[in-house]
Structures are given as C-alpha cells and as structure tokens.
Structure 1
Amino acid sequence: MQQLKSLIQKYNVPGPRYTSYPTVPYWDEQSFSLALWKQTLKRSFDESNRSEGISLYIHLPFCESLCTFCGCHKKVTKKHEMEQPYIQAVLKEWDLYCRLLQDTPVIKEIHLGGGTPTFFSPAHLTQLIDGILSKAEIAKEYEFSFEGHPNNTTREHLQALYDLGFRRVSYGVQDYNEAVQKAIHRIQPYENVERVTQWAREIGYTSISHDLVFGLPFQKLEDVLQTIHQTQRLMPDRLAFYSYAHVPWIKGNGQRGFKDADVPKDDMKRQCYEEGKKQLLAQGYHEIGMDHFALPSDEMAKAFAEGSLHRNFMGYTASKTQVMIGLGMSSISDSWYSFAQNEKKLEDYYARLEQDEIPVYRGHVLSQEDLIIRKHILNLMCRFNTSWDAPVQYFAELPQVLEQLAEMQQDGLLQIHEKNIQVTEQGKPFVRNICMAFDLHLKRKVPENRIFSMTI
C-alpha cells in the first residue's frame, strides 16, 4: 500500500478521460466544417453500414433537479410539456441524416442518455423509438440500452422499452449514504434501486447495470464499502465504478455546494477504489477496461475476454461500429474519420433544425497521425496493451513515447517489449497516465488553464 501511495503522489495529475482522441479541447475547429462532417460521415457509412451497422446515441437532456456530481449537458425543468417538441426535433434531425446517407441505416446499437431519459413518458419514448426505427433496419445482433433514474423509472417505462427491443438498463446509484446524497442533491433510497432492479429482471432485461461513484463529497471508505455491500444484494450484471471529477472551475455553482476540503483526495480517494475493487472481485465480478466490472456471463465480460471491447462517447460497449451518430442537444457523433458535436443550447439546437440544417456546431477531422494514436489509446483503454507490429500502427514520435514510458516500466506500471507494451496489474489504475504518454496533442500544447480532472 505504501508503494501505491507514492505512485499516486507521483502520477495523480490532471488528464483526459479519453472517450475520444484527440480529446475535445484539442479539436481543430478552424479547419472543420459541416460539409466536411457530411463528407467523412457518408464515406464511413458507405464503408461499414452493411457490414457492421451503426450506433445511435440519443441525448435526452431534461432533469427535474440538478445532481451536483453530473458533468453532462442538461436542462433542469419540471415542465413536461417540453417532451413532445424535443422528440419532434430529434426525429427531424434523424430524417436529415437519413436523407444524407441515402441507404437505409442498419442499427446495431441505440443508447438513450441524459439528462434523465426517464423524465420522458413511456408513450413519448415509444414515439421516439418507433420514429427512429421506421427509417431503419435492425441488425441481426443488436443492443438497445438506456439510463434510468431509480426515483422516476416506472414499470411502464421498463415494459414499453422492453417491447421496443431494449434489453439493458443502467441505473445511477452513486452512494447510499444520506449525507453524501444530500451533498450531491440526489436523495435516492436503496429501496428505489431495489424496486427498479427487480422490475427489470421480472420483465426480462438480460443486463442490468449500476453506476457507483467514489470520491464524492463527505464520502468515507466505509460509505463506499457499505454501498458495495448493498449492491451485492442485488448483483447487477455490470458495474461502473467511476471516479468523481471535481471540476467546479468548469461546472460552476453546481459543484460549489460544498468545500474542496469536503472532497476525498489522493490516498484516501484511491483507497476507496482499491478496497471497493477487492470487494467486487471477491463477489465474482471481473475488471473490464477502466472503472468497469462485469459478471462473467455478461456480454461486456465476454467482449473483454475476446478482445472485442470498444470505447466511444457512450463509454465501453461490447461491440464496435465505425459510425456513431449522436442525436439531440450537445450529442457528439463519430464517423471514425471525424467527430462532430451538436449545439449545446436547446434554443440553438431548435433554431438550426428549423433551418433544415444538421445542428452540428464544432468538430474535428482526424489526421493520419490522429488515427494511429487513437488506435493505440483505444487498445490501452480496452485491452490494457497495444502493439506496433503493423506499419499503420507506427508513428514518428514512438521512440520518444517509449522513452517516456520507460520510467513507468521502472515503476512497475507496464512492460515494454520489442513490438508492444502490456499494462501490469499494478498499472491498471494509471492507464490514463499511460495513454497521456501517447497523446501528441497534449505534449505539443500543454493547457494554460486546468481543464481536466485528476487522473487518479
């Protein structure tokens, strides 16, 4: 444990979470245009739609109250009359994409995120998905998933989405301690989580996930272990065990409801993860990528074992698609060759659609170097190793990267071989730091201001 503490002190620095490479602060927006986005998307779609299908992420941004730990783009409101106009807007956006793509999209994945997807009524969610599928085919093997808030997910929500083909649901739990819940403005009793988990099982959902967070304000080690103990009683198929990103200088007043001193840091925060991880492994969960765990029977665990695990703006996924289209306010799309983000403000999103425009406002077209580095970072995030035995995986700065990684090898975080590197068990908590060694954009332009959360 003493060695781990010294490594934490050494490597706990601000760094990206690598849901993309290049990371958003390093997108070259000046050379990006909506026309380029359409061009690269059409190219990628034509290459891959019939062979592997596409993924859809649909952002449903409304929340009835603000959770202060949340880093997502949302709109806090209790006005449910906003549901129908938003659904009509998303369906119009989808129609614009279908007209651009011409061939019928083959949908392999749909994920409803937020915000709070279960803010929307079952009838409106049915209208949304029916509208999407009316212009698409469903792949032979597919996964439809959504994020459910335990306080407002009803049995009717679960049944309606199940009838539409959804088989995976993720519930945000965070922590069961009342003092922690009060600080993050998410009062949510265990009984609510138990109820919606049991409903999902009774209806027939095959993968149920719980999201837990460590490092929250006022959270102690015993709180984390107690939350995991209560989670064990429900045995979800998957678990995300996230590090709380304390970035009040970015998120503003939402993370100013408590003092910086109230947030666990460094050694204490990492102990929460390490002790929590021990409990999860003892319960039969397997560690999958970064901050994720799954039972051996779950598709995520199988994908990790087979080396087919993938990571994109939706997080980890059991299968890869070259194209991911994001629908809705602030959604990010990925054509593999480029990224594109929608308007962040609801009014701007609506205004662009009223002009019959795909509501993209910024993005990045990946260079050949970007594509190579992206592959290495994906390998590290999804497999804990990467190699450069093929010419396309080699890049000019690789010798300098390996020189930087040599110190991490001395610290026992990885092993460097002639054509590959392998992250060690001790190095898994530091995978973001290892990825940073490959991040040429970060090296060439160190941020003047702090824009990233701490890596540990």
Structure 2
Amino acid sequence: MFIDQALLQKYNQPTPRYTSYPTVPFWTEGIDGELWKEAVRQRFAVCNQEEGISLYLHLPFCESLCTYCGCNKKITTNHKVEEVYLEAILKEWRLYGALSDAPPLIREIHLGGGTPTFFSPGNLHRLIAAILKDAVIHPDYAFSIEGHPNNTTRQHLEELYQLGFRRISYGVQDLNREVQQIINRIQPFENVQHATDIARAAGFTAVNFDLIYGLPRQNGDRLAHTITQSLSLQPDRIAFYSYAHTPKVIDAQRLINENDLPDAAEKLSLYLLGKELISAQGYANIGMDHFALPGDELYTAWQQHTLHRNFMGYTTQKSGMLLGLGVSAISDTNTAFAQNEKTLGGYYKSIHSGSLAVLKGYFLNKEDALFRRHILDMACQGRTFFYPNSSVELEQWTLPMLRDLQQDGLVDLYPDHVVVTTIGRHFIRNICKAFDLHLLRREAASPQQTFSKAI
C-alpha cells in the first residue's frame, strides 16, 4: 500500500504506545497500599465469577546485555539467583491470593523479561505449577512465554507444554552479523530456525517473532534480508517495532554510536520497506506494529472486533484484571494501576516484609475511564462510539484533532462515532492520541518530549 512520505513525516511525533491510559508518566509516585488492595479485592470478586484474570510474571535476568534493550533487566551469569527470585514471586502471589475469597480463575499467563528462558526448565515448571496449584484454569485460557533463540531448549518447551503453554515469542530483532555485534545480540539464523522447530515439535501451536527497524548500521538490504529469512520460518505473528534511542533514560544505549543510526528519512524508508515485505507474505496489519496470519487467533479477534490490549500488548483474552508479579511489573484492575519496585533490592525488601511491592500507580476517575474506553476501542477495534454533546472535553480536545485526521484520510468521522481508515491503521498511535486528555493538556501547557516517536 502506498503511504505518502509527507504524511509519515507529519505524524512521526512523540506518541505513547497506549498499553494503558493514563500512560505511566502521568501516574503518581507512591500509592495508597490499602486503596490498592481494596481495588484488587473488589476486582477479584468480579473476575473469579466468569472473566478470569491475567498474570504477567517479570523474570528480569539475562546473561548478557543487549545494548538496544529498554526492559528492566539484571545481567548475571549466576543462576543461583533463580531460587531466591522465584520464592519472592510466589510469596507475592500468596499476598494477592489472600485478597480473594475464592480460588483465582486464571485466564492468561505471560512470562516476560529479561530472558525467561534464563531460568532452568525445572524452575519454570515449579513456578507455574505452584501458581496453578490453588487456582482454577479458565476454559478459554492462553499461556505464553518470551524465549531467547540462543538458550531455549526442548526441555523448556516440553515442561511448559505440560502446564498449558502453547505460544512462544522469540526476540529475533535483526539477522545481520554487524548489526548484531553492535547491539551485542549474536544469534545466527540457524539458532532461530532451531528454536522455532523445537517449539513446534514440542506441540506449541503458535510462534511469534519480534523484529526491530532503525537499529545501528541497519539499511534496506539488511532489513530485507532479516525479514525474508524470518518469514521463511512462517511465524504466526510478527511484531515490527521501531527502535527508540533514549540514552538519557537507558544507560546501555550510550554504548551505541549515534552516527551509526539511520536518520529520520532512512528510518521512514525502513518502516515502509518492512511493512511492504511483511504484508506481501499475507500478514495482516492488525494494529500498532503487529501483524498476524489469517487463521491466527489474533487475526480472528481483530476481524470480529474482540481484540484487547494491555501491558503485554495485543491479546485475545479480555480478562477483567491483570496482576503483574515480579520486579517492575505492572498491574491493572480496570479502575487502578500499580507498578512494582524497579530494583531487586526494593522488591525483595517489600515482599519479605509481607507487603505488596507497589511503588507508583494511578486511580482512574470517570473521565479517565471514558477516554480509556475510547483509546482501547480505537487501538483494538478501529472505531469508537460517542455522543459529541455529552462531553465538553471531547468537543474541546478530541474532535478538533479528529477533524484534522479526517482531512488527512486517517479516519472517517460521523456524528456519533469515528472509524479508522485503511491508511489510518498505520497511524493508530496518532489517532489514539486524540483521546489522550492528559497528554494534550500537558503539551498545550508546556511542550516536551516524553515518549518515543510514532515511527
């Protein structure tokens, strides 16, 4: 599909990815622990009846540092840290479990990191088995894990398969040796192929790849090589992310020579090339940076307007609460957000003292809840319904932006709803921003760059 370069340049602005609303920079440091526990308690009472809950387990350890990575991680080759960390997560889970009058109804589990496959197969099995021991598994459950192609073993996959895991995402990023050396992530294509093969042989029904454009020393030929080789393995989903270079925030990125990064025009061309190559192989662009093959659950949910989005990204599981366990993990009760301590020391101290490790958070008001619904609907369904006269904020902040977006062909605006156009799908983050009152008000008062650029 042709996309006007001028349009891409116009909308290549700092914009959130909207895994939450309000977004994390607008949360408050410090959170009332008792109010948070009450929000969790109330949500448990609802979710345990039918919807179920989602669990995100953050496993932060990696054996080596990838210089592009913005995740919360701890670099070590000492695997003795596994036992201590798993005990803390299980204690945190028990603290949350005490807030429920019934066994938790688990609908979704995702293991992220860091490198979850840093942990031994036996320890991962022990962790998940302990969590599921006193819980009920929802009939429509989905368990997934992020794996590293270099250290994911058949035993990892077989242990997880026994516990209900059926989806794995591999961080491929780039398959060119020079780029890999600069970002300190050496993984030959053969490793990716082997990891994919053993996942399918173990019974996993879905394999996803993460790819990144805009990395140092990346160019059109190298990106095309990465995408062509990756797609030869027929992953079920592709996440095609933009590299966000923020060395003031992420210390490891200071190791990257900024002269090696593509300029804005080159990065735009990489974006267009990647999307063209991925789409040409039959993948549908279902939302922010995400592609899925027809027949994949995510594609079906997108077509049926049942897609959901949370801190784990796009998902088919619309559970009523997401609990994040582990250092820096984020939880969402639908009425409130909370993020755990970001350092291992702080996390261990809170958990071992018998307290939840929540560090910062946000309690939504009625306006937040309304505009959160609009943003989720736009990101997941490509449309949202509203009544123009029912909200002064909608008239003042949102509708003027939507009219501008309509002039550029990104949305179709009607009296009671707005719909994303085919071209607009490439600009979902920008469209969602029209409903982000917190960001719009901040930018009007004092323009500043808080987020990575949309492209």
CA distance in 1 between counterparts of 2:294 and 2:438 reads: 37
The match for 1:72 is 71
Distance 2:28 2:392 in 1: 21
Which shifted more, 443-452 or 410-419?
443-452
**Structure 1 residue 42 and structure 2 residue 41: aligned?**
yes
Q: Which residue of 2 aligns with 1:22?
A: 22
CA deviation vs aligned residue, 1:251-274 (integer Å, no higher than 9, x gap): 12x112223232223332222222
Once residues 453 and 171 of structure 2 are traced to their aligned partners in structure 1, the CA distance between those partners, rounded to angstroms, is 22
For the Cα contact (< 8 Å) 1:372–1:395, is it kept in 2? Answer: no
Deviations 1:11-63 (A, max 9, x none): 21212111110001111446x41111111111122122221100000000000
The C-alpha deviation readout for 1:301-335, integer Å capped at 9, x for no partner, is 11111111111011110121110000001000000
Show the 5 A alignment for 1:210-249.
210-249=209-248
- For the Cα contact (< 8 Å) 1:60–1:112, is it kept in 2? yes
Q: Does 1:301 align with 2:309?
A: no
- Letter of the structure 2 residue corresponding to residue 23 of structure 1: T
Contact 1:12 1:266 in 2 (8 A): no
Q: Which amino acid aligns with 1:426?
A: I
1:415 corresponds to 2:407: no
The Cα of 1:278 is off from its aligned counterpart by 1.9
| Residue of 253, 272, 292 corresponding to 1:255 | 253
CA distance in 2 between counterparts of 1:138 and 1:238 reads: 25
Paired residue type of 2:102: D
Amino acid across the alignment from 1:413: L
| Whole-angstrom CA distance in 2 between matches of 1:276 and 1:2 | 13
Distance 1:376 1:412 in 2: 19
After superposition, the C-alpha distances for 1:171-203 in whole angstroms (9 at most, x for unaligned) are: 000010111111111111000000010001111
| Change over 3 Å in CA distance of 1:2–1:91 after alignment to 2 | closer
Task: Specify the alignment match of 2:262 in structure 1.
Answer: 264
Quick check: 1:54 aligned with 2:53? yes
Partner of 1:335: 333
Q: CA deviation at 1:2?
A: 9.4
Alignment match, 1:369: 367
CA offset digits 1:84-124 (Å, max 9, x no partner): 01000000000011011221101000000000000000010
Residue equivalent to 2:11: 11
The one of 278, 285, 300 aligned to 1:287: 285
- Are residues 267 and 412 of structure 1, via their aligned partners in 2, closer, same or farther at CA, if it must alter by over 3 Å? farther
- Offset at residue 404 of structure 1 (A): 2.1
Shift of 1:232: 2.0
Q: Which residue, 406, 416, 424 being the options, matches 1:427?
A: 424
CA offsets, 1:393-418, max 9 Å, x none?
A: x5321122111221221111211111
Aligned to 1:111: 110
CA gap of 1:46–1:205, structure 2 versus 1, over 3 A, is same
Give, as a single letter, the amino acid of the residue that structure 2 aligns with 1:7: L
Query: Which residue does 1:398 correspond to in 2?
Result: 394
Distance 1:180 1:436 in 2: 33
2:436 — aligned with what? Answer: 439
TM-superposition CA deviations, 1:271-306 (whole Å, max 9, x none): 222222222222121111111111111111111111
Give the structure 1 partner of residue 82 of structure 2: 83
Match of 2:246, as an amino acid?
V
Change in Cα spacing, 1:418 to 1:17, as seen in structure 2 (3 Å) is same
Does the CA-based 8 Å contact 2:53-2:105 persist in structure 1?
yes
Q: Give 2:22's aligned amino acid.
A: P
TM-score with structure 1 length normalisation?
0.96
Q: Distance in 1 between matches of 2:208 and 2:76?
A: 26
| Unpaired stretches in structure 2, ≥5 consecutive residues | none
**Aligned runs of 1:124-139 on 2, under 5 Å?**
124-139=123-138
Q: 1:259 to 1:55 in 2, by over 3 A?
A: same
> Aligned partners of 1:264, 1:421: CA distance in 2, in Å?
35
Q: In structure 2, give the amino acid aligned to 1:187.
A: I
CA distance in 1, matches of 2:335, 2:391: 18
Q: Secondary structure at the match of 1:219?
A: coil
Return the letter of the residue paired with 1:421. Answer: V
Cα distance, 1:450 vs. partner? Answer: 3.0
Q: 1:275 aligns with which of 273, 276, 292?
A: 273
Residue type of the alignment partner of 1:186: R
Tell me how far apart the structure 1 counterparts of residues 388 and 104 of structure 2 sit (CA, whole Å). 32
CA contact (8 A) 2:214 2:242 kept: yes
Aligned equivalents of 2:183, 2:140: Cα separation in 1 = 38
Q: State the Cα distance separating 1:427 from its structure 2 match.
A: 1.9
SS in 2 for 1:445: helix
1:192 maps to which residue? 191
Q: Distance in 2 between matches of 1:450 and 1:98?
A: 40
CA contact (8 A) 1:303 1:319 kept: no
Residue type of the alignment partner of 1:24: V
Q: Which whole-Å CA distance do the structure 2 matches of 1:368 and 1:156 have between them?
A: 48
Give, in whole Å, the separation in 2 of the partners of 1:146 and 1:169: 5
User: In 2, are the aligned partners of 1:245 and 1:453 still within 8 Å (CA)?
Assistant: yes
1:448 shift after superposition: 6.2
How far apart in 1 are the matches of 2:383 and 2:260?
36
After superposition, the C-alpha distances for 1:114-168 in whole angstroms (9 at most, x for unaligned) are 0000000001001100110112111111111000000011111111111111000
One-letter amino acid matched to 2:168: V
Q: SS at the partner of 2:367?
A: helix
Q: Which range moved further: 318-327 or 407-416?
A: 407-416
* Distance change >3 Å, CA 194–CA 2, structure 1 → 2: closer
Quote the residue 1:165 is aligned against. Answer: 164
Conserved in 1, the CA contact under 8 Å of 2:287 and 2:428? no
The alignment partner of 1:113 has SS state of strand
Cα displacement (A) at 1:3: 6.7
